[in-house]
Structure 1
Amino acid sequence: MSWPPHPRLRGQVLGYRGCRLGMEVPRRRLELPVDVVTMFLGFGEPLRVQGAGTHAMPPSTVISLLAGPHEGAVIGEHAGRMCGIEVSMTSLAAFTLFGLPVDQLTNRIVDLTEPHGFPAPVAAGALAALPDWPERFARLDELLLARLDTGPTWSPQVEHLWRRLRLSRGRLAVSALAADVGWSGRHLESRFRQQLGLPPKRLARILRLQNALRMLTAGNRPLAQIAVDSGYYDQAHLGTDFKALTSCTPAQFRRIRAETPAMQALLTDRLAGHVTSAPLLAH
């Protein structure tokens, strides 16, 4: 069940998603790089997460987690049973709600059962005890609003530049961003790392990938055209970057997404406007 956050949170907290799965087979998904931070508050069933391809990240088994911005694909799997609430938020929201520099979360999966700036285990247990999803979402609103009012405030200049970079789909030069607010390139990079988790060039790389993914999954447009329209030098550049960030080629990804009706039934992108996932066969 999807649910909008409180009006004061909207625009930075992107949505809540309550899920309860009771499948008879394990489920594996390839999770792709996005410029979003994800918190999952689990109600008891473990998730196993590991890096895919060359994305070096040791395997971990968690119930509740915080996933920062990732520059490579991640494989998530569970035994077929899962229950909990997923909260998608911008990196700016994470900076305020968790009260820490976002680059401390970059390319990491944080186990929220360990001590952290946000009392996620308490929240997960309290949410699980409530009788239905609307009450859980309302309680989650209360928790996040309290953090919004007490956490550090993100920079309006960083928010402005992040929105410009997103609107350009990662095609604005760093020099143009810095000139817009009168910052040096070094200061711009420092503020982006602190509040967005990545410097502008690396964030732009993810935005270009997401634009290519949207076109790749929207039809049969030639890869050479997708490359040009997404800001890559040519098809070879698209292929190299795509493989590095997703662990597969554009053609392989197309096949994975459209392989069989059974796979289509498993497919749900987690966030509107983003291509976040692809189903994988369980081992």
Structure 2
Amino acid sequence: MTGRGVEATRVGGRWRVTRPWPAQLRPFVHSYAGYWEAAASPYRVRLVPTGRAVVVISLGEPFAQIRRLGDTGPSSLVTGSLVTGLEDGPRTCDHPGGQEAIRLELTPLGAFRLFAVPMSELTNTVVELRDVLGPAAGELVERLAATGDWGARFDLLDAELSARLERGPSPAPEVGHAWRLLSRAGGAIPVGRIAAEVGWSQGHLVRRFTEQIGLTPKTSARVLRFHRAVGLLTREGANLAEVTAACGFYDQAHLNREFRALSGTTPGLMAAARVAEGALAL
């Protein structure tokens, strides 16, 4: 592992490798890290909604099974690197061990530019990276896997991401403004107020926002409010009543219902668990 600015930290049984990403990527990327397992062992995680799209570039073993919690049909058939759009419910992922990967969390509008497809087509789905970015994605993964130096890997990926984002479609300024309003408020802002702020009818806002973000404004607000609550609850000394009020839930019963719907667990169990980048260790 070499390269200027590359750092590695131990996270449980894995190593997490990071480097500050370039300025041109910062408006579009929430997190960007490489991982590899110190000792290969199977594991299962539950992924909860974060209001972000995710790309996992598998350089070793891929996930063995990916399933929406409660689904009785077949699990997602992803055999390599993957893309997930925004989600409004939990998903479980099983890995056989031996993971080596690069994981990106993208803003919804960053994902819209990068993938160049309506984000509504990726909502609550997991698809192969090449199915979204084309055959060149497979070539990039092969080059990354053949490069053992993490600094060089990040250089390759930075260049590819920057080029794709540069030529990707630009979201509507009104959708961008609506997303910023929602994000800054942690979801605690009425959709009607957002529509008035951007100068669109509520119906037009819902249509364009859903196309470019992937979730409706109302569902996005639920996810962002939940995500904020998770962050507050995992802080030391968190108080459930204070979190309920701060995040705009009607009462603790409302908070409990939302946690059950969006994560399949309770606020107390979520607060006690190790949650990293939307993943709850099981």
The TM-score with structure 2 as length reference comes to 0.87
Q: Which amino acid aligns with 1:277?
A: A
1:10 aligns with one of 26, 33, 50: 26
- The 1:15–1:174 alpha-carbon spacing in structure 2 relative to 1, beyond 3 Å, is same
Equivalent in the alignment of 2:261: 244
Instruction: Name 2:6's counterpart in structure 1.
Output: none
1:186 to 181, 200, 203: 203
For structure 1, which segment, 245-254 or 202-211, has the greater mean C-alpha deviation from structure 2 after superposition? Answer: 245-254
Q: CA deviation at 1:268?
A: 6.2
2:7 corresponds to: none
What amino acid does structure 2 have at the position aligned with 1:111?
A: E
Does the aligned pair in 2 maintain the 1:4–1:15 contact within 8 Å? no
Is 1:116 the counterpart of 2:118? The answer is no
Residues 50 and 57, structure 1, Cα contact 8 Å, conserved in 2:
no
2:35 aligned partner: 19
Is the alpha carbon distance of 1:53 and 1:97 closer, same or farther for their aligned partners in structure 2, counting shifts above 3 Å? closer
1:144 and 1:90 map into 2 onto residues whose CA distance is: 14
Find the counterpart in structure 2 of residue 278 from structure 1: 280
Match of 1:260 in 2: none
- CA distance in 2 between counterparts of 1:165 and 1:79 reads 38
Residues in 2 aligned to 1:198 and 1:191: alpha-carbon distance in whole angstroms: 10
Pairwise CA RMSD: 1.9
Q: State the aligned residue count.
A: 264
What is the CA–CA distance in structure 2 between the aligned matches of 1:221 and 1:117, rounded to whole Å? 42
Comparing 215-224 with 191-200, greater Cα deviation is found at 215-224
CA distance in structure 2 between the partners assigned to 1:254 and 1:13 by the alignment: 26
Q: 1:87 to 1:269 in 2, by over 3 A?
A: same
Q: CA deviation at 1:52?
A: 4.8
1:140 CA displacement: 0.9
Q: Which amino acid in 2 is paired with 1:83?
A: E
C-alpha distance in 1 between matches for 2:66 and 2:150: 29
Structure 2's unaligned 5+ residue stretches are 1-16
AA aligned to 1:103 is S
| Structure 1 residue 57 displacement after superposition | 7.2
Task: Decide which of 145, 164, 172 is 1:147's aligned counterpart.
Answer: 164
1:224 is aligned to 241
- Aligned counterparts of 1:268 and 1:247: Cα–Cα separation in 2: 14
